[in-house]
């Protein structure tokens, strides 16, 4: 059974909030709705596409309007995912090192699977063993159902889960897997500490690599 490092995608490996914000603003504009400053999307992402759109739409928006904005965003953002995204500094090298050491690397994300697939091809080719997104009939993170299925499909033993948000803190606890949180994502170090005073934080890829080396050593005994 190979060791596995499981990652969140947005704000953890991929600097995606600017693209998400731009695409969401385009979807809002198509429906004659007010748009948001890009930094505001840091507080909207992490819980899947529907909740993102509910947060972005004006309070009291009806279901029909929300559905139209979801459809517009899904179309616009899925196309954007076919373009190479921006990985945080040091991420490609770290993923390559892990795989060279025989460590499996995989992503579990609340993005719909078609968007995850598009990014897997455009941005993560050769860097990950699996990319799993939202699937019909299965709950989103922090429910551990999908992550457990992913781990089982790889016949792997998870050494660590790496994320960047309160959702990731909860998923790590639900999986019973040591969790490392990146401070370069959608939540500040202060927000992460408020959610979990014992959270293990990393500010950059070098710090993450050091922490993962220790987790892998612990797993191997």
CB 4 within 8 Å of CB 104: yes
Pure H helices in the chain: 17-30, 49-56, 63-81, 91-100, 113-122, 145-153, 166-175, 189-195, 205-220
Residue with tokens 């993560």: 124
3-state secondary structure of 35: coil
Given 8, 10, 164, 168, the catalytic residue: 8
> Is 74 a known active-site residue?
no
Q: Enumerate residues 6+ apart whose C-beta is below 8 A from 193.
A: 199, 201
Beta pairing class for 104-112 and 130-134: parallel
C-alpha 123/C-alpha 150 separation (Å) is 20
CB 160 within 8 Å of CB 215: yes
C-alpha 11/C-alpha 67 separation (Å) is 26
Q: Enumerate residues 6+ apart whose C-beta is below 8 A from 134.
A: 48, 49, 109, 110, 111, 112, 113, 116, 140
Q: Is the dihedral of CA 18, 20, 26, 32 positive or negative?
A: negative
The catalytic site residues sit at 8
């Amino acid at each position: 059974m190979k060791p596995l490092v499981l990652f969140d995608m947005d704000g953890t490996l991929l600097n995606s909030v600017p693209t998400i914000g731009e695409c969401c603003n385009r979807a809002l504009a198509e429906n004659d709705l007010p748009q948001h400053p890009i930094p505001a999307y840091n507080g909207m992402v992490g819980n899947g596409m529907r909740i993102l759109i509910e947060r972005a739409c004006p309070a009291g928006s009806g279901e029909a309007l929300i559905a139209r904005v979801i459809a517009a965003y899904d179309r616009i953002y899925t196309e954007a995912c076919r373009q190479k995204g921006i990985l945080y500094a040091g991420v490609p090298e770290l993923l390559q090192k892990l795989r060279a050491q025989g460590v499996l690397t995989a992503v579990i994300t609340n993005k719909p699977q078609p968007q995850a697939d598009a990014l897997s091809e455009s941005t993560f080719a050769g860097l990950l063993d699996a990319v799993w997104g939202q699937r019909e009939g299965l709950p989103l993170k922090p429910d551990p159902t999908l992550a457990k299925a992913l781990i089982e499909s790889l016949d792997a033993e998870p050494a660590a889960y790496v994320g960047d948000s309160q959702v990731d803190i909860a998923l790590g606890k639900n999986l019973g897997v040591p969790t490392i949180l990146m401070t370069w994502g959608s939540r500040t170090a202060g927000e992460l500490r408020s959610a979990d005073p014992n959270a293990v934080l990393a500010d950059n890829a070098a710090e993450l690599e050091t922490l993962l080396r220790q987790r892998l050593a612990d797993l191997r005994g």
